[in-house]
């Protein structure tokens, strides 16, 4: 049965699908990953890499100002998430955690699976049934134990939390101080490279990345404004700012599922109201088109969650006009494919035609 989702009956409660990938031999549909194993890693080496910081000639030309890109799409598991998740996993490993449990079928789960493999710690990821085949395949390739449960992330998250035993650590996708501290390393790297942008563009889901950017800037006593971007159907920060407090959205209606947290975390709300910040909304179609143009311009495929931020440059947004030098956090995302971007574009442009 290995390589297939096996259905296990539960004596109480809903059925849970489980698949174990801990054994050494690769199973059908699972790639063998030839990357540094724990023994090859220096003890002090973080799990994320210092990503390239590049001036974008095409985007600078469109906007008529200097647009810089922090290329976190090039992190080994495909997104910035490994900064915070890696830091949290290393910290829990140091404290003796024997297993990591995650509830993200997206980039946070992938980062946890990657971190666990690098540290030699088993990882269980509980994902809702809606998780794409592509995301499941990536998690299996990182040798995580995959548990499929429930219709929504809330269902998967509740089960994940109940599975965390003694000496095990739950790795939250966005609401954890350890994550924010890890994400803040992105700001350290930008400043170490001697770039002082006038504004930073960042995508917002649950608000972990935003919280990390503010933590990084405060570490250096900098008040560089942030432009926080969401798709209109996943606008939990925008709605919270309108309401003056975090509010739970009834539903997420966006293909940018990585931005699909129904409610922003309290820390992100605190950051958004105490740090200079502007909120921007883009459409799903704009986010997808930005992803496609970015492939042509910079030869890197990112998710619409990241395309949302890139949209501000591709649309030469008036929100950028006050700033001479703008940094875009190219947060990445590994769960989209070229074919899927094309399908989304066709469907969305048909819907708006």
Ligand X SMILES: Cc1ncc(COP(=O)(O)O)c(C=O)c1O
CB of 98 to ligand X, least distance (A): 26
Nearer to ligand X, 174 or 323 (CB): 174
Q: Using the rule CB under 6 A, is 204 a contact of ligand X?
A: yes
CB of 220 to ligand X, least distance (A): 20
Q: Give the residue, chosen from 102, 103, 258, 317, that forms a contact with ligand X under the rule CB under 6 A.
A: 258
Q: Using the rule CB under 6 A, is 208 a contact of ligand X?
A: yes
Q: Using the rule CB under 6 A, is 79 a contact of ligand X?
A: yes
Q: Using the rule CB under 6 A, is 101 a contact of ligand X?
A: no
Q: Give the residue, chosen from 19, 90, 176, 303, that forms a contact with ligand X under the rule CB under 6 A.
A: 303
Nearer to ligand X, 328 or 331 (CB): 331
Q: Give the residue, chosen from 171, 259, 290, 310, that forms a contact with ligand X under the rule CB under 6 A.
A: 259
Q: Give the residue, chosen from 305, 319, 326, 348, that forms a contact with ligand X under the rule CB under 6 A.
A: 305
Q: Using the rule CB under 6 A, is 271 a contact of ligand X?
A: no
Q: Give the residue, chosen from 306, 313, 328, 330, that forms a contact with ligand X under the rule CB under 6 A.
A: 306
Q: Give the residue, chosen from 85, 89, 97, 108, that forms a contact with ligand X under the rule CB under 6 A.
A: 108
- Choices 2-10, 213-221, 253-261, 314-322 (CB under 6 A): range interacting with ligand X: 253-261
Nearer to ligand X, 122 or 333 (CB): 333
Q: Give the residue, chosen from 88, 332, 340, 344, that forms a contact with ligand X under the rule CB under 6 A.
A: 332
Q: Give the residue, chosen from 89, 331, 336, 348, that forms a contact with ligand X under the rule CB under 6 A.
A: 331
Tell me, letter by letter, the H, E, C secondary structure of the chain.
CCCCCEEECCCCCCCEEEECCCCCCCCCCCCCCCCCCHHHCCCCCCCCCCCCEEECHHHHHHHCCEEEEECHHHCCCCECHHHHHHHHHHHHHHCCCCEEEECCCCHHHHHHHHHHHHHCCCEEEEECCCCCHHHHHHHHHCCCEEEECCCCHHHHHHHHHHHCCCCEEEECCCCCHHHHHHHCHHHHHHHHCCCCCCEEEEECCCCHHHHHHHHHHHHCCCCCCEEEEEEHHHCHHHHHHHHCCCCCCCCCCCCCHHHCCCCCCHHHHHHHHHCCEEEEEECHHHHHHHHHHHHHHHCCCCCHHHHHHHHHHHCCCHHHCCCCEEEEECCECCCCCHHHHHHHHHHHHHHHC
Q: Using the rule CB under 6 A, is 128 a contact of ligand X?
A: no
The residues binding ligand X (CB under 6 A) are 79, 81, 106-108, 173-174, 203-210, 258-259, 261, 303, 305-306, 331-333
């Amino acid at each position: 049965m290995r390589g297939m989702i096996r259905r296990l009956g539960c004596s109480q409660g809903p059925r849970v699908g489980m698949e174990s990938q801990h054994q050494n031999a690769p199973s059908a549909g699972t790639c063998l990953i030839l990357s540094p194993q724990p023994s090859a890693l220096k003890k002090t080496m973080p799990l994320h890499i210092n990503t390239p910081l590049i001036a974008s000639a095409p985007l600078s030309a469109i906007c008529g100002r200097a647009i810089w890109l922090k290329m976190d799409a090039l992190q080994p598991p495909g997104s910035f998430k490994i900064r915070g998740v890696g830091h949290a996993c290393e910290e829990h490993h140091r404290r003796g955690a024997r297993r990591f449990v995650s509830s993200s079928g997206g980039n946070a789960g992938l980062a946890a699976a990657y971190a666990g493999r690098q540290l030699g710690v088993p990882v269980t990821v509980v994902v809702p049934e809606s998780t794409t085949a592509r995301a499941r395949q990536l998690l299996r390739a990182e040798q995580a134990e995959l548990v499929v449960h429930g219709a929504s992330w809330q269902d998967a998250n509740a089960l994940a939390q109940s599975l965390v035993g003694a000496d095990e650590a739950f790795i939250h996708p966005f609401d954890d101080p350890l994550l924010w501290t890890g994400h803040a390393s992105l700001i350290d790297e930008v400043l170490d490279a001697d770039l002082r942008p006038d504004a930073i563009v960042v995508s917002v889901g649950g608000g972990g990345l935003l919280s990390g950017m503010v933590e990084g800037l405060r570490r250096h006593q900098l008040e560089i404004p942030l432009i926080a971007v969401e798709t209109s159907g996943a606008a939990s920060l925008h709605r919270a700012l309108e309401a003056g407090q975090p509010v739970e959205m009834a539903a997420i209606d966006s293909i940018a599922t990585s931005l699909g947290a129904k409610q922003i975390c309290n820390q992100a709300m605190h950051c958004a109201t105490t740090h200079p910040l502007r909120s921007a909304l883009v459409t799903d179609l704009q986010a997808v088109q930005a992803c496609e143009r970015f492939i042509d311009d910079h030869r890197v495929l990112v998710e619409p969650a990241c395309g949302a931020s890139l949209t501000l440059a591709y649309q030469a947004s008036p929100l950028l006009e006050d700033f001479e030098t703008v940094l875009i956090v190219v947060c990445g995302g590994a769960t989209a494919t070229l074919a899927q971007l094309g399908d989304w574009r066709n469907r969305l442009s048909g819907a708006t035609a």
